[in-house]
Amino acid sequence: MREILFPIGLSIFLLAIIALIMLYNERHLHEEHLLSEHQQALDLPEGELVYEDADGQGEMLSSSEVPLIGKPDYIVKQADGSLVPIALKLNVLEASAPLPNHEVLIAAYCLILEDYSEIPSTHGILRYADREFVVPYTPALRKKVLRLLGEIEQYTEQRPPPLTKQKVNKCRSCIFQPVCPVGRGK
Ligand code: SF4
């Protein structure tokens, strides 16, 4: 009797394992399909959507090298492992080129992302209301972010930044807020 029951039990067990694997694969494929549909709807560049903050729910990202924190709207991981930050600035219309402060923002995101991938970012994307720009993460732009950080850190009450009357909202969305004596408390 035992000789008959053992193979039957083993077969049932194996069938259950196969069914579980099939169920897992089906769910996994379904999730991938939903994710790819979502990405297509967002019209994001090719790659894997690995981060999203368009709804404000993304975790805060930070650099271990410099006092920068930030939340890009999206991050797409390319096939080579590099990360592409995407910033939405949908209140900007009819710009013929990226605004300089937005270029700095993209470069600051790329700098932060150096902590999140061994392959450095090569560019980010700025999406305005009616068009988008690819912003190359050049050594010059990286240097500019570091220089601005250094300048902002030097400001004191006696030597405030030129923009002492920045709007609260602007400071809150500013990448330099953690080190800016004017924006920090806002
Ligand atoms: S935090 Fe505010 S004041 Fe400071 S650099 Fe940013 S926008 Fe200007």
* Same domain? 26 vs 105: no
**Same-domain pairing of 107 and 34:** no
Domain span holding position 26 = 1-42
Residue 171 maps to a domain:
no
Distance CA 75, CA 84 (A): 5
| C-alpha distances in Å from residue 147, one per residue of 34, 151, 154, 174 | 42, 6, 11, 16
- Alpha-carbon distances of 116 from 3, 46, 59, 126, 156, rounded to whole Å: 56, 19, 13, 20, 32
Which of 153, 159, 165, 174 maximizes ligand 1 atoms within 8 Å of its Cβ, making it the mutation to test the pocket? 174
- Ligand 1 pocket (Cβ < 6 Å) reads 152, 161, 163, 166, 170-171, 174, 176-177, 180, 182-183
Q: What is the pLDDT of residues 38-85, one digit of tens each?
A: 777 788 889 999 999 978 889 999 999 998 999 999 999 999 999 999
Q: Report the domain count for the chain.
A: 2
10/102 same-domain check: no
Mapped onto helix, strand or coil, the DSSP state of residue 69 is strand
| pTM for this prediction | 0.78
Tell me, in angstroms, the distance from the centre of ligand 1 to residue 128's CA: 21
Per residue in 107-119, pLDDT (tens digit) is: 999 999 999 999 9
In angstroms, what is the span from residue 33 Cα to ligand 1's centroid? 41
**Based on the domain organization, do 72 and 9 belong to the same domain?**
no
Residue 131 within a domain: yes
98 lies in the same domain as 26:
no
**What is the average per-residue pLDDT within 12-18?**
78
- Where is pLDDT greater, at 156 or 114? 114
Long-range pairs of 143-147 with CB within 8 A, sequence gap ≥ 24: 144/104, 144/107, 145/68, 145/104, 145/107, 145/108, 145/111, 146/66, 146/111
Same domain, 21 and 86: no
Pair 164, 170: CB distance under 8 Å: no
Is the pLDDT confidence value at 126 over 80?
A: yes
**What is the C-alpha to C-alpha distance for residues 103 and 90, in angstroms, rounded to an integer?**
15
